[in-house]
Chains A and B, each alone.
Chain A
Amino acid sequence: MQGFALYPFDPPGDVAARRDELRAWLAVNQPQGDIVARANCWASFDADFSRALGAAGYVGMTLPARYGGGDRHPLERYVVIEELLAAGAPVGAHWIADRQTGPLILRYGSEEQRERYLPGIAKGELYACIGLSEPGAGSDLAAVRTTARETAAGWRINGQKIWTTGAHFSHIMLALVRSEEGSERGAGLSQLLIDLDTPGITIRPIIDMAGHHDFNEVFFDDVLVPHGALVGTRGQGWQQVTAELGLERSGPERYLSSHALLAALIDAAGADPDPAVASLIGELAAEMWTLRRLSMSTAAKLAAGEDPMVEASVVKELGNAFEQDMPRRVQAIVTSGWDDPDDLARLLRALLIASPSFSLRGGTREVIRGIIARGLGLR
C-alpha cells in the first residue's frame, strides 16, 4: 500500500514542441465565438472545427495509418487532448468517436468494419454515439432489454435506448443489446455497430436543464442490420463494454470541464488579488495540479497495457468533485450577479447549471465509489 508510485508520463518525441505547434494551430483555427462555449467544451458541437482538427492530424491519432490514423502513441494523444480541453476547443462532434468508438472498432471490430468506419473517424467527419442506457437500465446497466435476434437476413433489433448523447448528429451507434433469448444480466449481451440511417430508427431529443439538446431517446422498431454489424464476440458484449468504460474514466476531461472558469477567475482577480480570492485560487490550483498528475500516471499505465480500473475511478471521482465544486466555490466569493454580462458571470452561470451532470455522465458517483470499494476488497 505504501509508496504508491506514479507511472512516468513519457510520450515519444519533443512534447514541448508538439504543444507549441498545437497552440499555434489553435490560435489560428479555434473559433473566437462566445466564451461560454469554452466551458464543458467536450459537449460543444462544431463540425467545421472537427473537420479542420482531423485534417491537421489531431483526430484518430492512435489509429494505424492504413485506416487513416496517425500511428501515434496514446500519450501523444493525451497531450493533444489536454491542450484542446484547456483551450476550451469545441471538440464535442467527434469526441466519442475519437475517444471510444474508434479504438473499440480497432480492438474488436472486423476488418470490414475497420475499413468502413475508421478513416471517417480519423478525418473528424464520422461521429458516433454509445447506446448503453435504457429506461430500465441506467446505473444497473446489466438490465439492458433491447433485443437483437439473428435471422437469415441479419440482426433484427427491437427496443429503446435513452440519454444517448449526440445520437441526433451521429452517423453510427455502438449499441449494447441482448442477443441471446432468455439470457439474464451480463450474459447474452453483444455489441452491434448500427448505421443510424437504417429504417426503423427514431431519434427524439431530450432537452436538458441548461436548454441544450445533447441527449436523446432512440427507438428501434424491427430494425434490420447486416450480420457484419456484430462487433467482437457474440455474447461477450458485457466484457467489451466494461473494458471500454474503464478507458473513458481517467482522461483530462474528468477535471477540465470547468477550466475556463478558473482561468476567468484568475484574470478577473488580477496580479494582486484579494486575500480570500487568492486562497481560493491557490486551493483550486493545488487540486488541479494533483489531478493532472494522477490522470497522467493513469494514462501512462493504460498505455503500458495495464488495467488501472480503480485508479481511473479515483481520477473520475476526484476530478468530477473538483470541476463540480468549482462553480459553487467561485460564486461564494465573487460579486457577479446572475445576469451580469461579463465573461466571469456568464461562465459561472453556465457551469453552475451544467455541473450536476458532471458526476452522472460516465458512471454516477455512487457507481464509481462502488468500483473503488471493490478495489479496496470490500465487496
Chain B
Amino acid sequence: MSAAREMLCDTARAVFAEAAPAGMGPIEEAGFALLLVPEDAGGFGGDWGDVNAVLQIAGVVVPDLPVAELIVNDALQPAATVSLMAGAMGQALALSIEHVNTRQQFGRPLGKFQAVQQSLAVMACEVRAVEAAAAALAARLDAVGLDVAAAEFEIAATKLRANRAVGVVTAIAHQVHGAIGFTREYELSRVTIPLMRWRGAHGNDAYWAQLLGRQVAEFGGKGLWEALTAR
C-alpha cells in the first residue's frame, strides 16, 4: 500500500472511531465527501483503490453510518457495498481467530480442535475471495475511470461473489463463537448483522446472477474466456 493510502487509512481509522458514538459529524468535517473529487477541484484526488481501503475500515468501525453514500454516487453503491462487506468479513474472521485461540474447552483452546480449524479455513477462503474480488474490482474501476458501464461485469461478479460469501462467513463466525457471539454485548453481531443487510442491498444474488448470466450468454462459451482475458 502506498504511503499516501496508509495515511488515508490511519485518518479513516481515527475519524471513524470518533464517529462510531458521535454519528456522521466527524466524517463530514474531515472531508471524506471529497475523497474522489479531483485535486484541481479542491478534492483529495483519490481513486477506487482508496475508496476500497477506506470503506473496508468503515465496514468494521461504522457499519451503520452512511459513509459509502457520502463518498460515492448511486451508480457506484453496489461496488462500494462490496468494500464494506470485505472489511466486515475480515473483522468477523479476526474476531473468530481471536476467540478460538483464547477460549478453552476440554482443557485446550478451541483452535486446537481440527473440526474448528477446518471450519475457520473454509471461512478464511471466503474472506480472501471477497477481498481479492474487491481489489480486482478496484483495479478495473480505476482502469476505466470509474465508468460503471465499462465495469459492469466486474461489479456484478464481485457483488454476487460477496453476497454468496455472507452465509458461510456469518454462519461459521457465529458457530465457533458459541453463545457469547449471540449476545448484544459482544462485538461480532456489529459486523454480522450489517453483512446480512448488505447482502440484500444494491442487488441481491438473483439480480446480479441474472444480469451476469445474460451478459455471459451473449459472449458464448468461447467468448467468455476471450472476454475475461481481454479485460
Contact = CB atoms under 8 A, between A and B. Distances in A.
Interface of A: 1-6, 16, 19, 82-83, 86, 259, 262-267, 269-273, 275, 277-283, 285-294, 297, 311, 314, 317-318, 366, 368-370, 372-373, 375-379
B222 A263 contact: yes
Interface of chain A, main secondary structure: helix
B156 A294 contact: no
Given A270-B217, A286-B160, A378-B97, A279 B206 contact: yes
Given A3-B9, A286-B157, A318 B129 contact: yes
Nearest to B110: A378
Given A286-B160, A287-B161, A263 B125 contact: no
A289 B157 contact: yes
Contact of B132 (A83, A86, A281, A290): A290
Interface string B101-125: 1000000000110101110111011
A372 B225 contact: no
B213 A314 contact: no
Contact of A294 (B87, B128, B214): B128
Contacts of A3: 1, 9, 52-53, 56, 131
19 contacts: A1-B93, A4-B128, A266-B216, A266-B221, A279-B209, A282-B216, A285-B212, A286-B157, A286-B212, A290-B132, A292-B228, A297-B132, A317-B125, A368-B121, A369-B117, A372-B124, A373-B117, A373-B121, A377-B97
Given A4-B128, A318-B129, A370-B117, A266 B206 contact: no
A314 B219 CA distance: 29
Interface in B213-231: 213-214, 216-222, 224-225, 228-230
Interface of B: 1, 9, 52-53, 56-57, 60, 86-87, 90, 93-94, 97, 100-101, 111-112, 114, 116-118, 120-122, 124-125, 128-129, 131-133, 135-136, 139, 153-154, 156-158, 160-161, 164, 205-206, 208-214, 216-222, 224-225, 228-230
Contact of B154 (A267, A289, A369): A289
Contacts of A271: 217-218, 220
A282 B57 contact: no
B217 A272 contact: yes
B157 A6 contact: no
A199 to B, nearest CB: 44
Contacts of A292: 228
A171 to B, nearest CB: 33
